Chains A and B, each alone.
Chain A
Amino acid sequence: MAETLMFNALREATDEEMARDNTVFVLGEDVGHYGGSYKVTKGLYEKYGEFRVLDTPIAENSFSGLAVGAAMTGLRPIIEGMNMGFLLLAFNQIANNAGMLRYTSGGNFKIPMVIRGPGGVGRQLGAEHSQRLEAYFHAVPGLKIVACSTAYNAKGLLKAAIRDENPVLFFEHVLLYNLKDDLPEEEYILPLDKAEVVRKGKDVTVLTYSRMRHHCTQAAKNLEKQGYDPEIIDLISLKPFDMETIRESVKKTHRVIIVEECMKTGGIGAELVALVSEQLFDELDAPVVRLSSQDIPTPYNGKLEALTIVQPQQIVEAIHKVVDSQI
């Protein structure tokens, strides 16, 4: 076991996959000489050279299209979004070409590529650098969407994403790069489509992902002392959802709270509520509760920013309310 920070876990995953398969390459802004804005690709340029760790000009739509073309012709690109928000500038290539081209081509081409980088609300980065694109991209067919949340799952999931034959949007969180885990010495790979039961419980199912997982576990520490027993599930796969794991949990708890960092309207939780009500309505003893970010551009001011996203105390209160509600 070796204690590893999340950004190093992601670097190890990339390094191991590049060593294993010489068609894997990284491209993006400042991934080479600079080593990546969060140091996920540090040292890889020196090891693999300028073609396999390709510093691109600041041209998101075009370098994303380059990756699609390279994937169609047999390479396995990993795009690093310096900030995932910048990929709004690549929306067309990600949606029309990465997402839909395999289908539109009638199966002529496959697009094995990973688009990864930091998303989420950081510390006073302003609206443009605080995006949660997982919600914006959720409707695009053909994309897999994954959010890692610990150093351990970051490594295992990224390796799986690189080996996947489909385009995978892989969300890291800007505030989680320094989380630590003891990682196994031996190689491990985690499935992209499986949710992680973070805390087993019987009172309520808390569905969450990315940084909010840690808000939920923090809230759970208080709740335990108060005699509550929530089950916390880290979705990991935002598309498709692991409905099997969710179903098993809801059958046990009959109550659901969704805690997300994306905005409420058109968010990940909105789709989850719909699926839970379509598939698990008879299991529910209370309406599903959503705790989401405010439907506003993320403000710069620290206090306003904190009010924009969900805080652990709100999770505690919501669980009180839902669990205490009578059938």
Chain B
Amino acid sequence: MVAERTVPKFDRSSIKITKEEGLMLYEDMVLGRLFEDKCAEMYYRGRMFGFVHLYNGQEAVSTGVIRALRRDEDFVSSTYRDHVHALSAGVPAREVMAELFGKATGCSKGRGGSMHMFSAEHNLLGGYAFVAEGIPVAMGAAFQSKYRREALKDNNADQVTTCFFGDGASNNGQFFECLNMSALWKLPIIYVVENNKWAIGMAHDRATSQPEIYKKASVFDMEGYEVDGMDVLAVRDVAQKAIARARAGEGPTLIEALTYRFRGHSLADPDELRSEKEKEFWASKDPIKKLAKDLTNMGLVVSEELKAIEEKVQAIVNDAVEFAENSPEPDPDELRRYVFAED
């Protein structure tokens, strides 16, 4: 096990959060966790197929960033590990689960699957399955906001785009190309690297000459921050600042969230390379337990309230499965539909 990085100090006395916000964050994270646990169950029961990559352990990043956005106005771009980003962006659990079941009621009408969640309604630009290919597309959405504001003089065009990807993508050329263009044109985009230390079996430290990804922003004259990706309040704090800067036209930010996936790369991964010691270290930092503790210590909630949320979310997830089970398969007569815009 490579020595763990020291997470930056977060001044907890600066936290300003209401009870409602705390519970909203908690519910969003619990939804991510329980949804993914249900996916594993359904996958092993043969209800869903293909490559399924679960997000367990990384919930603080999705919730901390996406729930700081203006829902349905700002944009979210994701990777093959996209279920929970979709949920945080507001895509109903029913539609995400139905997509995993390959049903016509799925958010991508059963054409996309686990790695290709899309929702125009919720400005989810998609799950992009090839590593780093979503970065330029997200930059295009940010360019669009800038274009409307600058070229079309639309002062309301202040949407922010958030672009999620992993440590593996940060060694791909598209990452560097887009940091350059985004900084050059001061685009309203936030690049969120979820550094979970492993690109399938390739340890991050074996793949890069500079493991501290946030530092790569500086050569593009761009803001870069590292944050404890297991602490939703820390993630939210850094995200809020980056969003405010982007909205004000002050340009892009690179956020490196130090996190960990509690499961293998995908449900097909035997997960033989990560040490038990490493897994235990990160399991002890479970972001959901941490938030529960924080909210309790701040005197904002009592355990019964958290328990009620967990029960509510479990009901949402169970309902999503029932909905997916009972939904129709796509119509075979519509096999060729959606190839072109007129279809």
A72 B109 Cβ-Cβ under 8 A: no
B109 A106 Cβ-Cβ under 8 A: yes
B139 A105 Cβ-Cβ under 8 A: no
Given contacts A65-B174, A106-B109, A108-B107, 5 further A-B contacts (CB under 8 A): A25-B147, A61-B173, A65-B178, A72-B141, A103-B339
6 A-B pairs, CB-CB below 8 angstroms?
Answer: A62-B181, A65-B137, A103-B111, A105-B112, A106-B108, A165-B341
> Which residues, 49 to 87 on A, are CB-close (under 8 Å) to B?
49, 51-52, 56-57, 59, 61-75
Instruction: With A51-B151, A65-B137, A106-B111 as known contacts, state yes or no: A96 contacts B130, CB within 8 Å.
Output: yes
**What B residues does A75 contact at CB under 8 A?**
144, 147
B338 A109 Cβ-Cβ under 8 A: no
Q: Is B85 an interface residue (CB 8 A)?
A: no
Docked CA distance A102–B343 (Å): 10
Docked CA distance A101–B127 (Å): 10
Per-residue contact bits, chain A 116-153, to B (CB 8 Å; 1 contact, 0 not) = 00000000000000000000000001100000000000
Q: Is B264 an interface residue (CB 8 A)?
A: no
Other-chain residue from B178, B180, B343 in contact with A107 (beta carbon distance below 8 A):
B343
B174 A63 Cβ-Cβ under 8 A: no
Give chain A nearest CB distance to B91 CB in angstroms. 11
A104 B341 Cβ-Cβ under 8 A: no
B181 A57 Cβ-Cβ under 8 A: yes
Q: Is A97 an interface residue (CB 8 A)?
A: yes
Q: Is A112 an interface residue (CB 8 A)?
A: yes
Other-chain residue from A66, A74, A93, A106 in contact with B107 (beta carbon distance below 8 A):
A106
| Residue among A63, A108, A141 with max Cβ neighbours from chain B (10 Å) | A108
Give chain B nearest CB distance to A57 CB in angstroms. 6
Q: Is B222 an interface residue (CB 8 A)?
A: no
Docked CA distance A142–B142 (Å): 24
Instruction: With A97-B137, A166-B341 as known contacts, state yes or no: A106 contacts B130, CB within 8 Å.
Output: no
Docked CA distance A70–B140 (Å): 4
Give chain A nearest CB distance to B80 CB in angstroms. 12
**What A residues does B108 contact at CB under 8 A?**
104-106, 108
Per-residue contact bits, chain B 99-133, to A (CB 8 Å; 1 contact, 0 not) = 00000001111111000101110000110101001
Instruction: With A93-B136, A109-B120 as known contacts, state yes or no: A70 contacts B107, CB within 8 Å.
Output: no
**What A residues does B137 contact at CB under 8 A?**
65-66, 68-69, 72, 93, 97
Report the tally of A-B residue pairs with Cβ distances under 8 A. 149
Docked CA distance A64–B135 (Å): 11
B341 A102 Cβ-Cβ under 8 A: yes
A65 B135 Cβ-Cβ under 8 A: yes
Give chain B nearest CB distance to A10 CB in angstroms. 22
Q: Is A22 an interface residue (CB 8 A)?
A: yes
List of 6 A-B pairs having minimum Cβ-Cβ separation, nearest first: A69-B140, A65-B136, A106-B109, A165-B341, A105-B118, A62-B177
B107 A62 Cβ-Cβ under 8 A: no
Per-residue contact bits, chain B 74-114, to A (CB 8 Å; 1 contact, 0 not) = 01010000000000000000000000000000111111100
**What B residues does A22 contact at CB under 8 A?**
151-152
Instruction: With A102-B340, A106-B109 as known contacts, state yes or no: A61 contacts B136, CB within 8 Å.
Output: yes
Which partner residue on chain B sits nearest A51 by CB separation?
A: B151
B146 A112 Cβ-Cβ under 8 A: no
B177 A59 Cβ-Cβ under 8 A: yes
Docked CA distance A48–B106 (Å): 42
Q: Is A218 an interface residue (CB 8 A)?
A: no
**What B residues does A104 contact at CB under 8 A?**
108, 111-112, 116, 118, 126
B144 A107 Cβ-Cβ under 8 A: no
Which partner residue on chain B sits nearest A103 by CB separation?
A: B338
Give chain A nearest CB distance to B243 CB in angstroms. 18
Which partner residue on chain A sits nearest B179 by CB separation?
A: A62
Docked CA distance A22–B148 (Å): 10
Docked CA distance A185–B109 (Å): 47
Docked CA distance A142–B340 (Å): 6
Q: Is A311 an interface residue (CB 8 A)?
A: no
Give chain A nearest CB distance to B20 CB in angstroms. 31
Docked CA distance A22–B173 (Å): 31
| Residue among B110, B128, B136 with max Cβ neighbours from chain A (10 Å) | B136
A107 B337 Cβ-Cβ under 8 A: yes
Q: Is A110 an interface residue (CB 8 A)?
A: yes
**What B residues does A69 contact at CB under 8 A?**
77, 125, 136-144
Q: Is B21 an interface residue (CB 8 A)?
A: no
A106 B136 Cβ-Cβ under 8 A: no
Give chain B nearest CB distance to A21 CB in angstroms. 11
Give chain A nearest CB distance to B124 CB in angstroms. 8
Docked CA distance A56–B174 (Å): 14
**What B residues does A49 contact at CB under 8 A?**
151
Docked CA distance A161–B173 (Å): 30
Which partner residue on chain A sits nearest B77 by CB separation?
A: A69
Instruction: With A22-B151, A25-B147, A59-B181 as known contacts, state yes or no: A110 contacts B136, CB within 8 Å.
Output: no
Other-chain residue from B120, B128, B145, B151 in contact with A52 (beta carbon distance below 8 A):
B151
Other-chain residue from B141, B151, B180, B342 in contact with A57 (beta carbon distance below 8 A):
B180
Which partner residue on chain B sits nearest A105 by CB separation?
A: B118
Instruction: With A52-B151, A104-B112 as known contacts, state yes or no: A73 contacts B144, CB within 8 Å.
Output: yes
Which partner residue on chain A sits nearest B149 by CB separation?
A: A51
Q: Is A4 an interface residue (CB 8 A)?
A: no
Docked CA distance A72–B173 (Å): 23
A72 B125 Cβ-Cβ under 8 A: yes
Per-residue contact bits, chain B 187-207, to A (CB 8 Å; 1 contact, 0 not) = 000000000000000000000
Give chain A nearest CB distance to B324 CB in angstroms. 15
Docked CA distance A260–B139 (Å): 38
